[in-house]
Amino acid sequence: MFARSSVLFLVAIVIFVYGCVRATNVVNNPYIFESVSREDEYIALGYYYLDLKKYKEAKDAFQQAYTITDNKVYLKEIIGILILMGDVSEAKKQADRYLKTNLDDDEIRNVLIGILTSTKQYEAARFEARILVKNDRSEKNLETLSSVYFLQNDYKNSAKYLQEAYEINHNELILDKLASTYALFLNDTNKSINLYKNHIKKYGITQLIGEKLALIYVKEEKYEQAIQIYKQLYEETNKIQYLQVILEIYLKTKELNKAQKLLETNHSLTYSDERFLEILLDIYNIKKDYKNSIRILNDLYDMSGNSGYLALEAVYIYESANDKKDKKILNEVSTKLEKALQDFNEALYLNYLGYLLIDNDMDINKGIKYVEKALLIEPSNVYYLDSLAWGYYKLKDCKKAKEIMSTISQEEINKEEEILEHNKKIQTCK
């Protein structure tokens, strides 16, 4: 509650003594509390009962403390407990009674306004809030009055008093409320944008203000302005999350050159997560920049140890080679694929390596074994069946090659030029 921190240390003392000699009526025993004031006794007991959720007993204890001292802190505790008990009517009476003789007490009046708004007595709450502002035109009081107008759906007056509150200390939290009111309730997005922009210009950018302005720009599809704000946020905070958002905008607007530059020049982003390297890889692939694709795949493999990246790197090396019969290239590709396939069985790569070994006469028997492994995973794949038939053709086992090729329909054979060419050779094999 309100005054707890100042007397909490007394709770342990009172609870201990109270628990030990409960039957002797601790509260009325002056010898037990020789070193503890009567006020402190009641406060400690009040918090003790509050912890036990015995609200009536807690209220009575604070009432005793209030009677002794007339300290409004205890009255606020009483009002708060009455609200917890659901006795809002009595809480309001207590606050009203106090304010009749203490007209300038903003704290209790704020409590009363809270009670009135919670019970939807908005006109009465506004009356009290106006007294607050009349007593002291402070940032806090103006914000309170603004909130009451807001609850009455009077957004124009709510914004008016928020503006005045903001002008006092240029509090960014109040500015955010003000700008949000214009954007969401007064349908004036431009006013909201200008409020945020002017604050940033005068007082610098913060996460709260910067993010809110950038989000409005994104919603309005003013992507270039949003990017500029996110760049400022990154410069101010050095948080990668803002570079991530910029990247997302570039990808959304299909500005691949800018996305590529962002990833190439910000390794803190690119190498923070595999997915960003994969995005850069996709960009290189779209541009058919296989040299850089291979480099990124190598980095991905080093970063993750995922053999899939190593296998794909091998395929890219082979497919981008000017001379696909170059022995150095063939050895590099087959070595990488064999290493990758030690860790996982991916039918596509098993067949790729098998066909590579078969077609280039590197190790036909070994190649056939890899293709057979691929067929165990996908037994009806026409490409893998063609690879196997081609392997037996290379071994001059024409009967076996024809037998395997016969399992592929003529329609499927005619679809692929390479399979059609293999079939012609196999059928003439003797």
| Mean confidence (pLDDT) of the chain | 88
Q: Name the pLDDT band for 105 (thresholds 50, 70, 90).
A: confident
Cβ 266 vs Cβ 246: under 8 Å: no
pLDDT value at 156 more than 70:
yes
- Can you give the length of the chain in residues? 430
Residues 313 and 302: their CA atoms lie apart, in Å, by: 12
Average pLDDT over residues 164-187: 97
pLDDT value at 66 more than 70:
yes
User: What percent of the chain lies above the pLDDT cut of 90?
Assistant: 70
- 339-374 pLDDT tens trace: 999 988 899 999 999 999 999 999 999 999 999 999
Residues 213 and 176: their CA atoms lie apart, in Å, by: 10
pLDDT value at 6 more than 70:
no
Average pLDDT over residues 124-151: 94
Residues 115 and 94: their CA atoms lie apart, in Å, by: 11
pLDDT at 31: 38
pTM of the full predicted structure? 0.75
pLDDT top residue among 327 and 104: 327
Structure tokens of 86? 């659901």
DSSP state of 32: T
Q: Look at residue 397 and give its three-state secondary structure.
A: coil
Q: Name the pLDDT band for 92 (thresholds 50, 70, 90).
A: confident
Maximal CA-CA distance, the chain: 119
Q: Look at residue 283 and give its three-state secondary structure.
A: helix
pLDDT value at 300 more than 50:
yes
Average pLDDT over residues 163-191: 97
pLDDT value at 390 more than 90:
yes
Residues 6+ apart with CB under 8 A from 266: 243
Structure tokens of 385? 């069946």
Tell which residue, 333, 349, 427, has the closest CA to residue 383: 349
Q: Look at residue 85 and give its three-state secondary structure.
A: coil
- Calculate helix-pair angle for 274-286, 290-304, nearest 10 degrees: 160
- 27-47 pLDDT tens trace: 444 433 444 478 888 888 888
Cβ 149 vs Cβ 113: under 8 Å: no
Lookup result for tokens 């809030």: 129
Tell which residue, 51, 58, 102, 98, has the closest CA to residue 78: 58
Q: What are phi and psi of 136, to 5 degrees?
A: -155, 110
pLDDT value at 91 more than 80:
no
Lookup result for tokens 């071994």: 395
**Domain range 1-86, its CATH number among 3.30.310, 1.10.3470, 1.10.10, 1.25.40:** 1.25.40
Tell which residue, 61, 40, 33, has the closest CA to residue 49: 61
pLDDT at 267: 94
Residue 123 identity (one-letter amino acid): E
Q: What are phi and psi of 408, to 5 degrees?
A: -100, 130
End-to-end CA distance of the chain: 98
Residues 162 and 167: their CA atoms lie apart, in Å, by: 9
Outline where 53-138 has alpha helix (H). Answer: 55-69, 72-84, 88-101, 106-118, 122-135
| DSSP sequence for 159-219 | HHHHHHHHHHH--HHHHHHHHHHHHHTS--HHHHHHHHHHHHHHH---HHHHHHHHHHHHH
Residues 263 and 269: their CA atoms lie apart, in Å, by: 7
- 220-237 pLDDT tens trace: 999 999 999 999 999 999
